[in-house]
Amino acid sequence: MIVVTGGAGFIGSGIIWALNLRGMTDILVVDEADDSQGIKNLTGLSYTDYMEKGEYLEAVLGRKLGQDPEAIIHMGACSSTTETNSTYLNSNNFEYTKHLAEYSVEQSIRFIYASSAATYGDGSAGYSDTIAKLPNLTPLNLYGLSKHNFDLWAAQNNLFNKVVGLKYFNVFGPNEYHKGDMRSLVCKGYAEILKTGKLRLFKSHRREYADGEQVRDFIYIKDVVQMTLFFLDNPELNGLFNIGTGSASSWNSLGDALFSAMGLRTNIEFIEMPISIRDKYQYHTEAEMGRLHRAGYDRPQTSLADSVRDYVQNYLKDGKYLSV
């Protein structure tokens, strides 16, 4: 059995989809059933059982699971970059992950967990996934800090020779519909363009970046799940790894790809960036992918234009989810 925490969420349900495509259905989904929108992500997928995240943690702490799984793929977390409750983030993102990691190491269970590119902060310390450089990073928000704190804890306890941490960059694609303001620009922009005929992007507040030329490492969910399962397929590999494309694209480029996928001419309006996020805004993210490639991952990645086209035409257009 494979446990996928956050299995009703965006990346978690994508991982279950990819496992199903391999013919694997002996999966325990751990999540929160009161998230009715997220549960829709599971509708077209196959799995053996479902547990509430609190119930699962109690079973882990009491070592009362009955059957130890082959692997725990831990995607469950509060992923809101604007969350201001540090106590909640510490409990949900740090302590929960810590308990699962300790259990997995104790029972020799494969443990793969989600970290985040938010740990890199403004990028001034670079985007290297080298463990020795972790102390140099300064996240810009509490979400990033909660993820960074676990990375640091794992390093301090010499766990990266036993577990895998994955620093996901800007993931987009089907099954993110429930994420509200945390949805990708492609998802939110598609609805905006249908309604208004234009796409609004934030103006730049740094001289070295023109409006819309702030850049991100955008990566499609279908590529993300393949990278994640690479570590399930290769249990001898451990450590901390970036999950991105290694190539930054501007918001303008993403907007062009979205309009093109919709068969429309680009029409972008620039608006003021809210003051509340100006000091915490990442103007540049770009994953260093050398360590993942040296580990043996060599699968070609989908281009930005092809990713957006697939998302728009095969999912957003008809409101579809990942299914098998």
Residue 199, H or E segment? strand 199-202
Quick: pLDDT tens for 101-154. Answer: 999 999 999 999 999 999 999 999 999 999 999 999 999 999 999 999 999 999
CATH number at residue 235: 3.40.50.720
pLDDT confidence of 35, banded at 50, 70, 90? low
| Residue at 120 is within a domain | yes
CB 4 within 8 Å of CB 29: yes
Tokens 């997995």: give the residue. Answer: 104
pTM attached to this predicted model: 0.95
- What's the mean pLDDT in 262-287? 94
Please answer whether residues 170 and 127 qualify as being in contact, where contact means their C-beta atoms are separated by less than 8 angstroms: no
> Is 305 domain-assigned?
no
- Whether residue 89 lies inside any domain: the answer is yes
- Lowest mean pLDDT segment, chosen from 18-22, 76-80, 199-203: 76-80
Residue 57 and residue 39 in contact, taking contact as beta carbons nearer than 8 Å: no
Distance CA 253, CA 263 (A): 15
Residue 34 has what pLDDT? 64
- Cβ pair 182, 81 in contact under 8 A: yes
- What total of structural domains would you count in the chain? 1
Q: How many CB atoms lie within 10 A of CB 198?
A: 16
- Residue 252, number of CB atoms within 10 A of its CB: 19
Residue 107, pLDDT score:
95
pLDDT of 207 reads: 94
CB contact set of 161 (below 8 Å; sequence gap of 6+): 238, 239
Specify the pLDDT at position 36.
Answer: 60
**3-class state of residue 251 by DSSP:** helix
Task: Identify the pLDDT of residue 79.
Answer: 81
List, for residues 36-65, the tens digit of each pLDDT value: 666 899 999 999 999 999 999 999 999 888
Q: What is the pLDDT of residue 37?
A: 65
Residue 296 is assigned to a structural domain of this protein:
no
- Print the domain residue range for 112: 2-169+218-245
Positions marked catalytic: 143, 179
75 domain residue, yes or no: yes
Residues 8 and 203: their CA atoms lie apart, in Å, by 34
Q: Between β-strands 249-250 and 215-216, what pairing exists: parallel, antiparallel or unpaired? A: antiparallel
Q: What is the mean pLDDT of residues 205-209?
A: 94
Please state whether beta strands 110-116 and 164-168 pair in parallel, antiparallel, or not at all (unpaired): parallel
Q: Does residue 274 lie in a domain region?
A: no
Q: Name the pLDDT band for 279 (thresholds 50, 70, 90).
A: confident
Q: 88 in a domain, yes or no? A: yes
Task: Using DSSP bridges, classify how beta strands 71-74 and 2-5 pair: parallel, antiparallel or unpaired.
Answer: parallel
Using the predicted structure, report yes or no on whether residue 160 has a pLDDT greater than 60.
Answer: yes
The answer to whether residue 272 scores a pLDDT higher than 80 is yes
Stretch 227-254: mean pLDDT: 98
Confidence class of residue 73 from pLDDT cuts 50, 70 and 90?
Answer: very high
For tokens 């086209």, what's the residue? 309
Residues above pLDDT 70, as percent of the chain: 98
How would residue 81 be classed by pLDDT, with cut points 50, 70 and 90?
confident
Q: Provide φ and ψ at 27, rounded to 5°.
A: -130, 135
* Cβ 236 vs Cβ 295: under 8 Å: no
pLDDT value of position 38 = 66
> Which secondary structure element, helix H or strand E, spans residue 27, and what is its range?
strand 27-31
Dist CA 60 CA 109 (whole Å):
12
Alpha carbons within 13 A on the beta-carbon side of 216: 21
Residue 232 placed within a domain: yes
